[in-house]
């Protein structure tokens, strides 16, 4: 999953972008803090690094990354995270969304990727590339489809949820449940597009994030 490059959107902030694979990058750089680790230890590792940063932290996570960002935020010292941006994902405690994609055979997994239309068709049509791609995709789906967030947990920073108007993976009502995850301000921003709306409105999202961080 590609993410919007948010580097430099607001001075005085350290940006930690959490992508759809659960990888964390500080200031948009190449430091992969979580690759090769299990989901929960990876979150703890990212949180541990973030506590050492000498500036406020803003977290942006897309899809699976939104859940990872929330888990990181709940593990940081109070006040460390200034804003949490959760993109294209239902709230952590929302148990109404279930999935079985990780249990499907390879053909079923490919069909799901085609439905979401976020993967290059050339990759999905290439028999030599699929064995390299599908195990990681299946693992991603297993993580998010078996994840259950503990109810009642909330962060002290504002949460802004970003969704595509035509996203079939999260409805406006599901997005609104993120309000229960913060003791601070909450807002939902809707953009044209589907689950991968970021590809088409990157500059708009960057502008919105920058504006929120300057408040």
**112 to 36, 131, 134, 138, 180: CA distances (angstroms):** 25, 16, 11, 11, 30
Annotation marks residue 63 as catalytic = yes
Cα–Cα distance between 50 and 73 in angstroms, integer?
A: 10
- Among the listed residues 7, 31, 48, 63, the single catalytic one is 63
Residue 130 near residue 110, CB atoms below 8 Å? yes
Active site (catalytic) residues: 63
């Amino acid at each position: 999953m590609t993410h919007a490059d948010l580097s430099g959107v607001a001075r005085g902030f350290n940006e930690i972008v959490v992508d759809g694979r659960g990888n964390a990058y500080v200031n948009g750089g190449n430091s992969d803090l979580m690759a090769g680790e299990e989901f929960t230890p990876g979150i703890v590792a990212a949180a541990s690094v973030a506590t050492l940063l000498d500036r406020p932290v803003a977290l942006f996570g897309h899809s699976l990354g939104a859940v990872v960002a929330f888990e990181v935020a709940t593990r940081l010292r109070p006040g460390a995270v200034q804003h949490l941006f959760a993109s294209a994902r239902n709230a952590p405690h929302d148990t109404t969304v279930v999935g079985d994609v990780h249990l499907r055979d390879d053909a079923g997994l490919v069909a799901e990727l085609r439905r979401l239309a976020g993967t290059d068709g050339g990759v999905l049509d290439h028999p030599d590339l699929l064995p390299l791609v599908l195990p990681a995709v299946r693992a991603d789906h297993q993580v998010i489809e078996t994840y259950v967030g503990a109810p009642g947990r909330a962060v002290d920073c504002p949460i802004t949820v970003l969704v595509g108007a035509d996203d079939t993976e999260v409805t406006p009502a599901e997005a609104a449940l993120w309000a229960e995850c913060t003791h601070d301000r909450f807002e939902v921003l809707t953009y044209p597009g589907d689950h991968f709306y970021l590809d088409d409105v990157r500059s708009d999202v960057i502008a919105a994030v920058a504006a929120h961080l300057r408040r």
